[in-house]
Structure formats: C-alpha cells, structure tokens
Amino acid sequence: MANPGRAHWQAVKWILRYLRGISNLGLIFDRETDYNSRVVGYVDSDYTGDLDKRRSLTVYVFTLCGSAISWKATLQFTVALSTTEAKYMAATEAVKEAIWLKGLISDLRLQQDATSVFCDSQSAIHLTKNQMYHERTKHIDVRNHFLREVVTEGVLEIQNIATTKNPADMMTKPVPPYKFKLCLDLIGVRGM
C-alpha cells in the first residue's frame, strides 16, 4: 500500500472498533450440554450476492458441544439459476465437510450419532429426498446430486430450520444486532 488515503484510514478505524467490541468474546465449549455432544451443521446461501459474476455465497458452520468447530463462506463455482439451486449447491458443500468431520470424530474415537445438517430451504431439502426427474431442476450439475446419495444411504440427515434460528444466516447478509447476538450464541461465541 504505497499511498493510503482517507478511505483506508476509515477502514482501519472500523476494524479497530470491531476488534475492541469483540475482545471479550470467545468460543465456549459446554460439555454439560447433552444435546450438543454431536456434530451439528447449519448451511445457508444468498442468491447471486456477487454483483460482478452473479454467483451465490455458500456458508456453513458446524458445532460440537455447542461451539463452532468448522465454518466457511465462499462463492459457488457456477451461477445458480434459482434460490433452490443455490441452497442445494450450498448443502452439497456442507455435506462434504460433514463427512470429513464425521471421519475426524471417528479417528478421535469419540462416539458420534448421525450428523444433522440444518437448511432453511424446504425446496432444497425436498430435492435431496426426491429422486424423480423434475423439469425445473434438470439443469442442476450431477456433482451436486452426490447429496442425494448421502441422504439416501443414511450417512446424515438434512433437516429444516427456520431462517430466524439459522446461525449461518449472519454470514450471508447483514442482520440486526439482536439476530447477530442470537447467532453468536447458537455457535458458542460468548463473553469470557
């Protein structure tokens, strides 16, 4: 950065204010939480959020013992032609991570029940369970149908979650402060 300007200084000040505001937060693992002793995933996607290439953002976060252990936000490889396709593509990426995490937990010799991945799109969930040919989904890339196979084999479950309770939501769009705090709490980010 050879010639920083006013905009750069404003960005630095914003980052410093943000860091000061979260300096007392951390990932808290709660071993007393019985229902969170398994890996749970949350997935979300925006639709054509990238204004330059019109690609959608895939976001997922996985928790264990009530705290985040894996998360990612990345642009999808191809342009999705519908919200359902964007969510389906995001769920495919989340499922690949879930399978890897399941293997890691197994290598650590920890007891692991079926992994659940929560998605806030009923139509994407329906697409994972219904193997019928559909006129409106025939264009979806075969690589994403890997998700159908994993669900059919019972490797994991895709379940519905309300958008208001999906912690991955905070990574796809700006959310009001109360929702941001709720999302942080859902992934185990709390005051220390």
Mean pLDDT value of segment 7-12? 92
Residue 143: CB atoms within 10 Å: 11
Summarize pLDDT for 31-41 with one digit per residue, the tens.
Answer: 666 555 788 99
Percent of the chain with pLDDT over 70: 89
| Higher local confidence (pLDDT), 154 or 56 | 56
Q: How confident is the model at residue 143 (pLDDT cuts 50, 70, 90)?
A: low
- Is there a contact between 68 and 61 (Cβ–Cβ < 8 Å)? yes
Locus of tokens 């890691």: 104
Locus of tokens 């749970």: 40
Give the burial string for 28-59 (b: 16+ CB within 10 Å, else e): eeeeeeeebbbbbbbbbbbbbeeeeeebbbbb
Nearest to 147 by CA among 72, 83, 97: 97
Contacts of 103-111 with CB under 8 Å at 24 or more apart are 105/39, 105/64
Please report the pLDDT score of residue 57 as a whole number.
92
Please report the pLDDT score of residue 11 as a whole number.
92
Q: Is the pTM of this model over 0.95?
A: no
Among 13-22, 81-90, 122-131, name the one with the lowest average pLDDT. 122-131
- Is there a contact between 147 and 117 (Cβ–Cβ < 8 Å)? no
Please report the pLDDT score of residue 154 as a whole number.
83
Decide if pLDDT at 81 tops 90. Answer: no
Residue 85: CB atoms within 10 Å: 25
Please report the pLDDT score of residue 70 as a whole number.
95
**83-107 and 122-129 are packed helices; what angle lies between their axes, rounded to 10 degrees?**
70
Pick the CATH number of 28-191 from 3.40.50.2300, 3.30.420.10, 3.40.50.300, 3.40.50.2000: 3.30.420.10
Around 74, how many Cα atoms within 13 Å sit in the side-chain half-sphere? 12
Decide if pLDDT at 113 tops 90. Answer: no
- Is there a contact between 99 and 22 (Cβ–Cβ < 8 Å)? no
